[in-house]
A and B are shown apart, each in its own frame.
Chain A
């Protein structure tokens, strides 16, 4: 099977659309795990909550937003690696609907 490589930064900030054309959010962070000297991507974090995790201000930002009257992030989702089609990293596409994704609290 041929291997296809790309740079992680190509994905950052890209909008992700589901098969119905709905935007699920922008890719802000990528979670991976390491084992046996290998590093495998587990999931992609989309939306404002993903950005807050990337900036390490998730808890502070959540409390601050709650104080200001906001409830959750409308477009913040976790996407398991299987559900994201990365054949064209400039146009990442969901393999499932946005509604079926886990929300980031």
Chain B
């Protein structure tokens, strides 16, 4: 992110600074990567970044539409979110640096559904694990 010394709003390069950046929650816990950026057009207003998507189905769709459809089908069959990527509103972004910090609590976020599922169904059943 480029900071301008003359009180102008900070400029950022969306591909270089945002796309593929690591996402961190308010406790510095990893939430995934910014796999896709959603832009909205609204009348005569400038295009606006409205949200960031993360998840394997989002990344697959970015790499190739065919791969995206396959990942979506797999997600609908086996996924915990029916193949839908996790979407974070831009308004939850608190800072942009090497990582993108979001005002999100990972333990309540859909981004950690798989981790919580693994913890509940597998890790807790391993003897000696809590």
Contacts and interface: CB of A to CB of B under 8 A. Distances in A.
Interface in A23-50: 28-35, 37-42
Interface residues of A, number: 31
A4 B38 CA distance: 10
Interface string A1-26: 10111111100100000000000000
Contacts of A54: 13, 15-16
B36 A37 contact: no
Given A7-B62, A38-B91, A39-B49, A29 B16 contact: yes
B114 interface: no
A95 B2 CA distance: 28
A50 B31 CA distance: 29
Interface string B84-105: 0000001101001000000000
Main secondary structure of the interface of A (DSSP, over half): strand
Given A3-B40, A5-B38, A41 B48 contact: yes
Interface in B18-44: 19, 36-43
Given A9-B37, A9-B62, A81-B47, A42 B16 contact: no
8 contacts: A7-B62, A8-B36, A9-B62, A12-B15, A28-B15, A32-B12, A33-B9, A37-B90
Interface of B: 8-16, 19, 36-43, 45-50, 62, 90-91, 93, 96
